[in-house]
Amino acid sequence: DLFGSVEPLLPSLREDGVAVWVLGAGPYPPGVVALQELLDAASEELEPEDVWEPEDMNDTCLYIFTSGTTGAAGAGGWGVLAERGGAQLCFPLPGLPKAARVSHLKSIMCLSFYELVGASSRDVVYLALPLYHMAGSLLGIVGCLGIGATCVLKEKFSASQFWDDCRAEGVTVFQYIGELCRYLVNQPQRPGERQHGLRLAVGSGLRPDVWRSFQQRFGPVRIVETYGMSEGNVTLFNYTG
C-alpha cells in the first residue's frame, strides 16, 4: 500500500545504495525486491545459527520512525511554556519525523510485553495501530509472537465497528493509544455493547476521565497503562490501575 509513496524516490535510493523490499505480488520496477515470491520459495528449515544470529545484540536490528518531538538535534527544539525566577518550563516542539535505531536486544525484549501485562497464548489480541510505529510492530506483532497469541490486524481503526469485530473474532485483549478509547466512549450507545469477551486493554495515553467512562460503559475490563519511548531505556507499567 505504501509503495506509491516510495516509487518517486527510487532513483535517489538506488544512488544511495538503499534496497527496497515490497510485500506484494507486483510487478515492480527493476531494483525492487518482491518479498512474497521469495517467501513462497523459501525453505521452512531454519538456517544454522551462525547465519542469522547477530554478532552483537546491541547492533542495529531496525529503524523505527518517531514523531520528531524529542527536542533532539534535527527535531523542532524546545518551546518555553512559562518562566519564573530564571527557571523555564519547556515543552518539545514538533519536528520532522526521524528514524530511531532499535537494537536486536530491544527487539527481543518486546517478546515479553504481553506476558508482562497478563496475556497468554489463549488470548486474541486486537491491533489497529500503525505498524511503522514501535507500539504496533514491536510491542504488538512481536509481543504476540512472544506468547504465541492470535493477532487480529485491523487495517484502519473504526469506533463504530470495534465491538462487532471483538464479538466476531473472539477478541480478549485490545492494544490502544488513549484517543482510541475516547472515540469508543464518544460513540452513541448501542444494545449489546457490554456483550463481549474483552478482558484486558493495554496501551498509553488514556486520560482518567476516559478510563472511568470506558469501564463504566463497557464493563470491568482490566486496563494496564504503560509508557515508554522509542529511544528510551525505561518503561513504566501501571499494574495497580
Last residue of a domain, one of 104, 137, 163: 104
**Under the phi-then-psi rule, with left for phi > 0, alpha for psi from -120 to 50, and beta for the rest, what region is 198?**
beta
43 and 22 inside one domain: yes
Count of domains in the chain? Answer: 2
pLDDT reported for residue 73: 38
216 and 113 inside one domain: yes
142 and 230 inside one domain: yes
Q: What is the pTM of this model?
A: 0.78
pLDDT (mean) for 166-181: 95
113 and 232 inside one domain: yes
Last residue of a domain, one of 58, 74, 104: 104
Phi, psi of 238 (to 5 degrees): -95, 85
CA dihedral sign of residues 8, 12, 13, 15: positive
Q: How far is Cα 135 from Cα 175, in angstroms, rounded to an integer? A: 9
Q: Which three cell numbers stand for residue 18?
A: 538503499
Q: Which residue has the cell 499494574?
A: 239
Over residues 96-111, the pLDDT tens digits come to: 777 889 999 999 999 9
Q: Which residues are CB-contacts of 41 (< 8 A; sequence separation ≥ 6)?
A: none
pLDDT (mean) for 197-217: 95
61 and 150 inside one domain: no
Give kind and range of the element (H or E) at residue 39: helix 35-41
Q: Strand pairing partners for 94?
A: none
188 and 137 inside one domain: yes
Last residue of a domain, one of 49, 76, 104: 104
Q: Which three cell numbers stand for residue 142?
A: 512481536
| Residue 148 scores a pLDDT above 70 | yes
Instruction: Pick the closest to residue 63 from 18, 112, 103 (CA basis).
Output: 103
Residue numbers of the domain that contains 141: 109-237
Q: Which of the four pLDDT bands, split at 50, 70 and 90, describes residue 90?
A: low
Q: Which of the four pLDDT bands, split at 50, 70 and 90, describes residue 75?
A: very low
Over residues 111-140, the pLDDT tens digits come to: 999 999 999 999 999 999 988 888 999 999
40 and 94 inside one domain: yes
Q: How far is Cα 137 from Cα 61, in angstroms, rounded to an integer? A: 13
Burial class (CB in 10 A: 0-12, 13-18, 19+), 108: middle
73 and 24 inside one domain: yes
